[in-house]
Amino acid sequence: MESSKVQMIESSLVAPSEASPTKALWLSPFDLALANRGHTPLVYLYSSGAAFFDTARLKEGMAKALASFYPLAGRLGVDDAGRARISCNGKGVLFVVARSYLKSDDLDFSKPSPELRRMFVPRIEPSSLIMAAQVTFLKCGAVALGVAVHHAAVDGPSTFHFMQTWSAFSRDALAAVELPCHDRTLLHARCPPAVHPGALSVLCPKVTFSEASGPTATEVFTISRDQLVTLKRLCGGATTFCSVSALVWRCAIAARRLPPDAEARLSFPANVRRRLRPPLPDRYFGNALVWLGVAAAARDVATEALASVAGRIGGAIARMDDGLVRSAIDHLELAGAAADGRPLRGSMPETELRITSWLGMPVYDADFGCGGPQVMSRAESVRGGFVYLMDQPGGGVRVVMCMEAANIKSFQRLLYANITKASKL
């Protein structure tokens, strides 16, 4: 924490308000595949929240929520075979209270940065902590809420389910909530594992990360509601995700000046909860993501109709059925997913782009009594080749892009030039 800008007032552990199961929680292959992502740093900004963020009430609400979401109060460890697991022991979530002389206008909370993470997301010590939260009272009366949750424990839908529940209990101690499902054996590999040969053409192959050849930069680009309507029409009525991803992929390839014959690959996580038969419970708590991939020659992505590029992406999603998901689970089990939980380092090759979508997720539903957040974003994004798509308040999409600093201005120019061109068609 940068003591000159943010001063810590209090640090404590918040345990579940009721006795929770004490056990080792088995992690599925999907959980293990994301263990090396470390903690996901999030930041929420409440423009007039100081009067509503009573820390005692927040702790009470968190303790009540943890009674049901008890894995978050545990610790990440390994079993005798070296496989990662969560020790559900009720030790608690790290809760930090801080103050700052900064005002909300002094920083762009919508743009991830190392500074934003250092100041407003608590430092994770020890690394086995599953979750930590920090409430920072700003000089202007605004409140920044920073949250870090280990990706081995949860994916986006599960994280936001907890945030909805915590905020609901902070508003009303008797709030009605939807309970999570903790049965991760629903995503157990088959015995014996069996990977359908056709699945490997859709599943994203393992990517080697390395130190970038130069500095990376993170920028945020917005696509307005009207621009999005036009873009989706240009893409033949494709979904928001497919339309925006097709445009971002094309512009990234052009900005990076890839050779025409180079194989460009786009990968993205897809939620499997409704794709399995029978489907997972709606409130399944854990990681339920399969990584899909689309590959094509750079010249094809650059020259074919944007609707065709969107169709490539949509085609991969359309193939995600129960058989593909089961093959993905078995493939990860056979491959031996990462189990040490150490954070991923480095950037992706310039031929690769990875897009994570939070579109349609309740990212703004964390209402602690003063309404939803004015801004919600990742606090940091520093790995080149990673893109995040989020709903923009009032409509439209926010594109958080991290790529080579030398190419990002070109990407920006191409992105908006393509959007402007589409608007004139």
Catalytic, 330? Answer: no
**C-alpha span between 29 and 332 (Å, rounded):** 6
Half-sphere CA count of 59, side-chain side, radius 13 A:
14
84-88 β-sheet, strand order: 23-26, 84-88, 75-78
Averaged pLDDT, 184-197: 94
Q: Which of 151, 161, 182, 331 is catalytic?
A: 151
Averaged pLDDT, 254-259: 98
Tokens representing 254 are: 């052009």
Predicted confidence at residue 422, as pLDDT, reads: 79
CA angle 174, 178, 183 (to 5 degrees): 130
At 36, is the secondary structure helix, strand, or coil?
helix
Q: Count other Cβ atoms within 10 Å, centred on residue 54.
A: 15
Predicted confidence at residue 338, as pLDDT, reads: 45
Confidence of residue 340 (pLDDT cuts 50, 70, 90): very low
Half-sphere CA count of 109, side-chain side, radius 13 A:
25
Indicate if the alpha-carbon torsion angle 371, 377, 378, 379 is positive or negative.
negative
Predicted confidence at residue 282, as pLDDT, reads: 87
Residue 1, pLDDT > 90, answer no
Contact 31, 152 (CB under 8 A): yes
Catalytic, 151? Answer: yes
Q: Which residues contact 304 (CB under 8 A, 6 or more apart)?
A: none
**C-alpha span between 388 and 391 (Å, rounded):** 10
pTM over 0.85: yes
Of 136, 45, 32, 2, which is closest to residue 375 (Cα–Cα)?
45
Summarised one tens digit per residue, pLDDT across range 78-137 is 999 899 999 999 999 999 999 999 999 999 999 999 999 999 999 998 889 999 999 999
Contact 112, 380 (CB under 8 A): yes
DSSP string, 307-349: HHHHHHHHHHHHT-SHHHHHHHHHHHHHHT---S-PPP-SB--
Residue 203, strand partner residues: 292
Residue 247, pLDDT > 80, answer yes
Percent of the chain with pLDDT over 70: 97
Q: Count other Cβ atoms within 10 Å, centred on residue 10.
A: 10
Indicate if the alpha-carbon torsion angle 380, 301, 397, 405 is positive or negative.
positive
Q: Work out the mean pLDDT of the chain and round it to a whole number.
A: 93
Confidence of residue 211 (pLDDT cuts 50, 70, 90): confident
Predicted confidence at residue 50, as pLDDT, reads: 75
pLDDT greater at residue 22 or residue 208: 22
Q: What is the dihedral of CA 122, 128, 130, 136, to 10 degrees?
A: -10
Contact 274, 257 (CB under 8 A): no
**C-alpha span between 307 and 78 (Å, rounded):** 46
**C-alpha span between 287 and 272 (Å, rounded):** 9
Q: Which of 183, 300, 365, 367 is catalytic?
A: 367
Residue 295, pLDDT > 90, answer yes
At 412, is the secondary structure helix, strand, or coil?
helix
